[in-house]
Structure 1
């Protein structure tokens, strides 16, 4: 199998779905709590390079989405909808959350930030899993 032999429409749409989740999660749902947990003000956030931040975040979403698509494409059998969604969720639960948790422990970040970010990654990967299951 060629590593680029994936459904590229699903890759882009899933990356957009994850990106949208981030906008909602770190906006109206957890935005103020997240800013407090990381110690940033709205003014400081507005001073950031928006193009660089959002462009980089979307590029990372594309990489994550492609990796998920490639993971699904490497199975010898077609996976059903629920299996793809559960696999995506499990990647966040089993790989992403322990990784950020370990980083947060050593950098002594607060628990609130961990739970905000962990919740985001669970929803992010689940949303991408739904898109890949639907379009793939």
Structure 2
């Protein structure tokens, strides 16, 4: 099973699209700024090239692990130590029968949802607790990652 770097890059880039919508002032942007104790002027002063560049890098890291969580065939690969060239014939038979099973956008979204809900949201929520952020902040920032993980998982799982 080869890593599809194009799928990972597209999944990472999808977080920017979700972010442009999610953090738009007409959606959650205004509430998020208030809860994050930021003004529009402060948001505009950042080095946007660095911010968006690093956001893509971090999202790529997330997409890399999401492929392991959304594509079941990576589990089969892990069972043989990750090297299909040393696998027993049963591995090739399994992959011949199930190599494309559950490789849909919808199935990837399901696993992305669970990854976002049970991993990303608690990570954001724990940080928010120690940073003394509000529950609104937690739901907005965590909700962004739940939705982003869903879309990322869908892209990664569907692109063969």
User: How is 1:1-136 mapped onto 2 (pairs within 5 angstroms)?
Assistant: 5-27=2-24, 28-71=26-69, 72=71, 74-76=74-76, 77=98, 78-80=100-102, 81=104, 82-136=106-160
> What residue ranges of structure 2 are gaps of 5+ in the alignment?
77-97
- Secondary structure of the 1:48 match is coil
| Displacement of 1:83 | 3.2
| Displacement of 1:117 | 0.7
27-36 or 56-65, which moves further after superposition? 27-36
In structure 2, how many angstroms separate the alpha carbons of the residues matched to 1:102 and 1:12? 28
**1:6-60: CA deviation from partner (whole Å, max 9, x where unpaired):** 1111111111112211111112421111111111111111111111111111111
In structure 1, how many angstroms separate the alpha carbons of the residues matched to 2:30 and 2:149? 23
**1:86-129: CA deviation from partner (whole Å, max 9, x where unpaired):** 11111111111112212212221111101111110111000101
Q: Which has the larger radius of gyration?
A: 2
In structure 2, how many angstroms separate the alpha carbons of the residues matched to 1:64 and 1:102? 18
CA contact (8 A) 2:109 2:153 kept: yes
* Change in CA separation of 1:18 and 1:89 when aligned onto 2, cut-off 3 Å: same
CA contact (8 A) 2:68 2:75 kept: no
CA contact (8 A) 2:22 2:144 kept: yes
In structure 1, how many angstroms separate the alpha carbons of the residues matched to 2:101 and 2:153? 12
TM-score norm. by structure 1 comes to: 0.88
Corresponding pairs, count: 133
TM-score norm. by structure 2 comes to: 0.75
| Displacement of 1:79 | 4.5
